[in-house]
Amino acid sequence: MTTIELYDATLRDGMQGEGMSLTADEKLRVVHQLDALGIHLVEAGFPSSNPKEIELFDLLSRERFRHCEIAAFGMTRRRGVTADADEGLAVLAGCFAPVCTIVGKTWRLHLEKVVRVTPEENLAMIAESIAFLRAQGKRVIYDAEHFFDGFRADPDYALRCVVTAAEAGAETVVLCDTNGSSLPSQISAAATRVAAEIDRFGIHCHNDLECGVANSIAAVEAGAVQVQGTMNGIGERTGNANLVSIIGNLQTKMGHELLTPEQLGRLTETAHFVDELLNRTPNPQQPYVGKNAFAHKGGMHVAGVRADASTFEHMDPELVGNERALLVSELAGRATVAEKAEALGLEVDAERVIERVKALEHAGYQFEAADGSFELLLRKEAGVYEPLFRLESWRCIVEQRADGKVETEATIKIFVDGERYVRTAEGNGPVNALDRALRDALTEIHPHLADLELVNFKVRILDETKGTGAVTRVLLDTSDGREVWGSIGVNENVIAASWQALVDSLERAMQPARLGT
């Protein structure tokens, strides 16, 4: 079977996405993660487009990587100058990176409307740029921009561009679906034509039709030997092809042995690492690596998975470093409760827990996204729960002034280990003010609570269908930098519901430490 090269474009194309920004140091950390994952080529950017890129290439030039090679990115020469007089190509030639990826035009529409060069001049630009970099001792990857649009408009010319690049010495010619406008069948047809013309071609897809991964797979089936993509599919518009899913599919479904089992086991960690660094909440529904990718809710599913995981799972989650999650629900029953309690080292009466969960769900609770609160419930049932403090009272004042400014102030009165604490804090809203006041008191005894971050706050009004009157459900996600847990509060009053979720989130942070687990 042909060896497929994995080419990561997170640091260049991925950074085109809205709100994507990393410092040079952070980019270096990403490269090390990608290296440990076993990615073959990492595109770092254009070596001198700005001071940040210069700093990055300087850092990279002093590093050693075990698996990956660094590719510098640039363009074919400008029109009207020779390749050896082109400033951009000179930068690439002078860069330490052993691989240069250059992009050039394929689509006649762009030649006419955008760059205003003749088709023949464009072919010369491709050939001369590649030949120049080859003469400088570089390995060259050629990105054929808008290849598929160009192929649909004028297949002969698009193929001539690709063949010209291969003949000029590009080791791989990459077919780019730059506008993300192609369907898998179109990718297959065009890639099959290319396969008849040149030896090595790659694929670079965007996700505008949500076909980024499917298109990449279609190209591999047609003979592509390099796949470009970004971690978690980040990138401009709707993103690039998601390299995480591509790796999962190529290796676990198509039998390509690209990574060692140990490397593949890092897939989830690497995907989450990139999200965390970009300050993005990892998508729980992301295939292979999402928190819910192997989550089971229905009672029969849970029982089936316990008996034989293949009944309701497409693969063993541990292969990609993910884990099975059994969601708690009145549908689930004994098996889930038993498994969760076992994982925490707790002994509980499963029937009683289920009765309790049912009663709470009737009152508006939902524990699927509130694993932290469910853990506390299990600890209470197991008799190993210790409250963090005893409440005397809390209060919250929200004041809007004539100038439109809104001020929030909260006061809490609590007892911790017999001592009374009274704290007042301001915040940008009631939850923030209560959180500040409460943590101001608690961090005197439990300093590590200061590191917690409330990362997500969701409020939902539940209607009266359950006969209890309208109530508010608050879900809070809290992170300590290593893991994220959810907590829940339900009350007719939104601030009281928030308080409850807040207390659960802090207590969940404390419980394992207290038990020494």
Q: Smaller CB distance to Zn ion: residue 34 or 302?
A: 34
- Size of the chain, expressed as the number of residues it contains: 517
Q: Taking the CA of residue 229 as centre, how many other CA atoms within 13 Å lie in the half-sphere pointing to its CB?
A: 25
Number of C-beta neighbours around residue 150 at 10 A: 27
Q: Least distance to Zn ion from the beta carbon of 322, Å? A: 28
194 vs 234, beta carbon nearer Zn ion? 234
Selected range binding Zn ion among 5-13, 261-269, 394-402, 417-425, rule: CB under 5 A: 5-13
Q: Which stretch binds Zn ion (CB under 5 A): 11-19, 67-75, 147-155, 294-302?
A: 11-19
Least Å from the CB of residue 133 to Zn ion: 20
Give yes or no for residue 507 binding Zn ion (CB under 5 A).
Answer: no
* Residue 5 vs 13, nearer CB to Zn ion: 13
- Shortest distance (Å) from residue 176 CB to Zn ion: 6
Stretch that binds Zn ion, among 7-15, 119-127, 316-324, 410-418 (CB under 5 A): 7-15
Q: 17 vs 282, which CB is nearer to Zn ion?
A: 17
Residue with tokens 């990561």, as numbered in its chain: 8
Alpha carbon distance 452, 430 (integer Å): 18
Residue whose Cβ sits closest to Zn ion? 13
Termini Cα distance of the chain: 47
Nearest approach, Cβ of residue 91 and Zn ion (Å): 20
121 with 79: CB under 8 angstroms?
A: yes
Selected range binding Zn ion among 9-17, 111-119, 361-369, 455-463, rule: CB under 5 A: 9-17
Count of CA atoms in the C-beta half-sphere (13 A) of 265: 4
CB closer to Zn ion out of 106 and 511: 106
Q: Using the rule CB under 5 A, is 177 a contact of Zn ion?
A: no
Specify the residue, 13 or 371, whose C-beta has the smaller distance to Zn ion: 13
Q: Which is nearer to Zn ion, 145 or 435 (CB)?
A: 145
Output 34 or 506, the one with its CB closest to Zn ion.
34
**Cβ proximity of 214 and 186 under 8 Å:** no
Tokens of 172: 């791989």
Exposure string (b/e) for 287-322, b if CB count within 10 Å is 16 or more? ebbbbebbbbbebebbbbbbeeeeebbebebebbbb
CB of 175 to Zn ion, least distance (A): 12
CB 430 within 8 A of CB 398: yes
13 touches Zn ion (CB under 5 A)? yes
Least Cβ distance, residue 379 to Zn ion (angstroms): 49
Q: Toward Zn ion, which CB reaches closer, 13 or 171?
A: 13
Q: Which of 322, 326, 318 is nearest to 301 (CA)?
A: 326
Residues 126, 168: Cα–Cα separation, whole Å: 8
Tell me how far, at minimum, the Cβ of 43 lies from Zn ion, in Å. Answer: 10
- In angstroms, the CA 406 to CA 396 distance is 13
Instruction: In whole angstroms, give the CA distance from residue 50 to residue 58.
Output: 13
Q: Binding string to Zn ion for residues 72 to 111, with x set by CB under 5 A, is what?
A: ----------------------------------------
In whole angstroms, give the CA distance from residue 471 to residue 463: 7
Dist CA 400 CA 398 (whole Å)? 7
- The size of the interface with Zn ion (CB under 5 A), counted in residues, is 1
CA 267 to chain CA centroid, nearest Å = 11
Minimal distance, residue 158 CB to Zn ion, in Å: 17
For residue 169, the Cα-to-chain-centroid distance in whole angstroms is 36
Q: Least CB distance from residue 148 to Zn ion, whole Å?
A: 12
CA distance 73 to 102: 6
Cα distances from 241 to residues 124, 174, 237, 515, in angstroms, run 30, 14, 12, 44
Q: Which is nearer to Zn ion, 13 or 381 (CB)?
A: 13
The minimum distance between CB 207 and Zn ion, in angstroms, equals: 10
Site of interaction with Zn ion (CB under 5 A)? 13
